[in-house]
Amino acid sequence: MTQEQWSAIRNRNKDYDNQFFYAVRTTGIVCRPSCTSRPCNPKNIIIFFTLQEALAHGFRPCRKCRPELPDWNGAKAELARSAQKLITENYKEKFSLQAIAGTLYVNKSYLVRTFKEITGITPLAYHHQIRCEQAKKLLTRQELSISFISCEVGYQTASHFTKMFKSVCGCTPSEYRNNYLATLQTDRTQTE
């Protein structure tokens, strides 16, 4: 093992991922250089340039860094992606951080920290974004009332829906609809 490789492992440098893998004799595990596992004694490390080589020597893939999955972005990214999927699939339901954390088998504080670290926003803010994106689609239909749309995307009252929509989109639902209709009318006029 070179000093550069040890430095990459110690600093969990993602730039070295897929350039080499390191195996730990004492645990029998092979990892990526960016693995978040606790650093081990450098005397116990063996360097491999391919994962297959490490597996052939009897080492098993780490469950934290998943070296056998080339597109793996880490456990935190996977957790955030799973939370996004749950929120998107259940956007009409009342938001429950406890339920999401329970489904993903993590502490709710850890979920919020990780979600915000990966996505830049909280799970609740993401929930409101998804609801507002769905509302935008419904607002293009003139026959649907604002009250109906607010219930359809999961808000209990039209006033709360309007407040959240303005917070997320920068305009009220009525303003969004009017802008959409004005744009649609302009496009029709130009094509005639």
Active site residues: 31
User: Is residue 2 exposed (0-12), middle (13-18) or buried (19+ Cβ within 10 Å)?
Assistant: exposed
Nearest to 150 by CA among 189, 177, 125: 177
Nearest to 139 by CA among 168, 87, 179: 179
| 142 phi/psi in degrees, rounded to 5 | -60, -30
HSE on the CB side for 16, CA within 13 Å? Answer: 22
3-state DSSP assignment of residue 168: helix
Judging by DSSP bridges, how do beta strands 60-61 and 29-31 pair with one another?
parallel
